Structure 1
């Protein structure tokens, strides 16, 4: 198995188990790679595996979200594309957010707090820039950008709690226009 494919599987393992719950036994079982071979790919053990998983999510953020939000497209198109990419990445709400899972874990928060915070700030700043480009003043744009990420994360939690994807899908449909409203 390639390291690339293994990292994709690790994202799923840490989404499900978090950092503390992702034992090497769980990781080996979920990936089909023996514990010894896991150390071949990741000599730094579980922490290196989680870092690789976070790097994969950061790569998604950079290539699928930030690149789009920084493009020359119209603001509404940028926001709609962002929501489509979010919907796809989170499997229409069925997948948890790795940032959220790791940020909530007691030991993983200490390990990954700065990396997760940096990624979330980049996302918020990129959304705010799009909203400023659309004519919103800086403070309102920043508020709405934070609110957008907050609502996306909350919708992912709601999907898990209700076992229904409709709230997440509804948000992905309505969020672009709501962010751009001038009377909000």
Structure 2
């Protein structure tokens, strides 16, 4: 019951939440998808499904943030937005519009019994916003405006991803990226 099984289960949970949501994903599906030994899920996640979900949200958040961070470090905030949107574009197309953001999937379901899930999701959204805001500020956008614009980017991209799933069409993401780039340009970012 090594670390590899645990990591596979976390990745599988994040993957399954994208398509099935939190309530629609059970331990059996995670075990089947990950190929981990059956009893290992209870060994690695004694806190149950909420513990697994919290770690899956963190994993998904860090995975996507690393792509945004790489683009930000390149000095181009538009590239960071492209990286953020490009990820969701690939997820949508590859899944035939069945998959979305696992962080959103966990966030939108009620978790009165697991408030740590909302806190984990909020931390992921904050991290994405901070990374984007840093890139915008480095490109010349005043700090306060960079923070607001970063929040808008995250909200617009997440909303557009949901709309793309509903419409089974990428045009909401295309429209969002066009408008966000124009907005970043007018905000003073060197795009």
Match of 1:98 among 102, 112, 116: 102
| Contact preservation (8 Å) 1:131, 1:179 | no
Match of 1:140 among 132, 136, 145: 145
Cα gap change, 1:102/1:77 in structure 2, threshold over 3 Å: closer, same or farther? closer
Residue 76 of structure 1 and its aligned partner are, at CA, apart by 3.5
Partner of 1:18: 21
Partner of 2:85: 83
| Contact preservation (8 Å) 1:42, 1:49 | yes
In the TM superposition, 1:155-174 aligns within 5 A as 155-168=160-173, 170-171=174-175, 173-174=177-178
Residue 37 of structure 1 and its aligned partner are, at CA, apart by 3.8
Residue 151 of structure 1 and its aligned partner are, at CA, apart by 0.9
C-alpha deviations, 1:55-108, integer Å up to 9, x for none?
211321342223432x143333444344334444x3448321111111111117
Partner of 1:151: 156
| Contact preservation (8 Å) 1:7, 1:53 | yes
Residue 153 of structure 1 and its aligned partner are, at CA, apart by 0.7
| Contact preservation (8 Å) 2:75, 2:139 | no
| Contact preservation (8 Å) 2:101, 2:158 | yes
In the TM superposition, 1:1-184 aligns within 5 A as 2-3=4-5, 4-31=7-34, 35-69=38-72, 71-88=73-90, 90-92=91-93, 94=97, 95-107=99-111, 110-168=115-173, 170-171=174-175, 173-174=177-178, 177-182=181-186
Range 150-159 or range 52-61, more displaced:
52-61
Residue 146 of structure 1 and its aligned partner are, at CA, apart by 1.4
Q: Report the RMSD for the aligned CA atoms in angstroms.
A: 3.1
Range 12-21 or range 51-60, more displaced:
12-21
TM-score (norm 2): 0.75
Cα gap change, 1:132/1:31 in structure 2, threshold over 3 Å: closer, same or farther? closer
Residue 155 of structure 1 and its aligned partner are, at CA, apart by 0.9
Cα gap change, 1:80/1:119 in structure 2, threshold over 3 Å: closer, same or farther? same
TM-score (norm 1): 0.77
Unaligned ranges ≥5, structure 2 = none
Unaligned ranges ≥5, structure 1 = none
Task: Tell me the distance in 1 between the aligned counterparts of 2:165 and 2:68.
Answer: 23
Identify the structure with the greater helix proportion.
1
